[in-house]
Amino acid sequence: MVIKEDDVPPVTPQPMKGGRGISKFKTWTARKEDLHGDWYVVDATGISLGRLASNVAKILKGKHKPTYTPHLNTGDHVIVVNASRVLVTGGKMDGKVYTRYSGYPSGLYKRTLRQQQQLDPTFPIRNAVRGMLQRNTLGADMLRRLRIFAGPEHEHAAQSPRRIAFNEKGDIQVV
């Protein structure tokens, strides 16, 4: 039996409940096979700690990509060099205090930013970025993609990372 075009009744879209109608387009969502992480390197010399941390967190989350999906790790790998030369304004070197508690009575430990930078120059950046990521296993996976080095050399040259610079407004630009 041959069906002619004239015999087929026209299809009219039926409105959905709520009066929204039928949409022709479906929302695209990234899948595991769509994910790939690029490598970027950031020089922290002269950049304020918070501005650096927020932009690095944005790259680790993948919010700079059009394929950003909140429930997947769509972010990239970030290498931060010259972490010991990050800019801290005001009296934060002696006024900002990092605290931790051992769980025992009188077990509160305090260190200023200056003391913490002398012990581990990478800690302030890692701590600031960790505070800007989500608090679950996905945030822990994103933080594993962050590599911080106190000096100008890093050991990830084989990945051929692209350099990131900051414009005058403080936003990132891939060079």
The enclosing domain of 65 has a CATH number of 3.90.1180.10
Q: Mean pLDDT throughout 159-173?
A: 89
Which range is least confidently modeled, 11-20, 26-35, 70-79? 11-20
In a domain, 14, yes or no: no
Question: Looking at the predicted structure, is the pLDDT value of residue 132 above 80?
Answer: yes
CA distance to 46, 109, 155, 166, per residue, from 102 (Å): 34, 8, 34, 39
DSSP letters along the chain, please? -PPPGGGSPPP-PPPPTTS----S-------GGG----EEEEE-TT-BHHHHHHHHHHHHHTTTSTT--TTS----EEEEE-GGG-B--TTHHHH-EEEEE-SSTT-EEEEEHHHHHHH-TTHHHHHHHHHHS-SSHHHHHHHHTEEE-SSS--S-GGG-PEEEEE-TTS-EEE-
Domain that holds residue 145: 37-88+116-168
**pLDDT band, residue 25 (cuts 50/70/90):** confident
Residue 8 has pLDDT above 90, yes or no: no
Kindly state the average pLDDT of the residues 20-40.
Answer: 81
Question: Is position 52 within any domain?
Answer: yes
Quote the mean pLDDT of the chain.
Answer: 89
Residue 138 domain-assigned (yes or no): yes
Burial class from Cβ neighbours inside 10 Å (0-12, 13-18, 19+) for residue 137 reads: exposed
pLDDT digits (tens, 9 = 90+) for 118-131: 999 999 999 999 99
Asked whether residue 131 is domain-assigned, the answer is yes
Question: What pLDDT score does 5 carry?
Answer: 59
pLDDT, one tens digit per residue, over 83-110 is 999 999 999 999 999 999 999 999 999 9
In a domain, 100, yes or no: no
Percent of the chain whose pLDDT exceeds 70: 87
Would you tell me the crossing angle of helices 137-144 and 123-132 to the nearest 10 degrees?
Answer: 140
d(CA 74, CA 172): 18
Looking at the 3D structure of the chain, how many domains does it have? 1
The pLDDT score that the predictor gives to residue 56 is: 96
Report if residue 54 sits inside a domain: yes
| Residue owning tokens 């040259």 | 157
Q: Is residue 121 part of a domain?
A: yes
Arithmetic mean of pLDDT, 138-147: 97
- Domain assignment present for 111: no
Report, as an integer, the average pLDDT of 35-52.
94
pLDDT of amino acid 33: 87
Rounded to whole angstroms, the Cα distance separating 20 from 11 reads: 18
Dig out the tokens for 68 from the structure: 């950003």
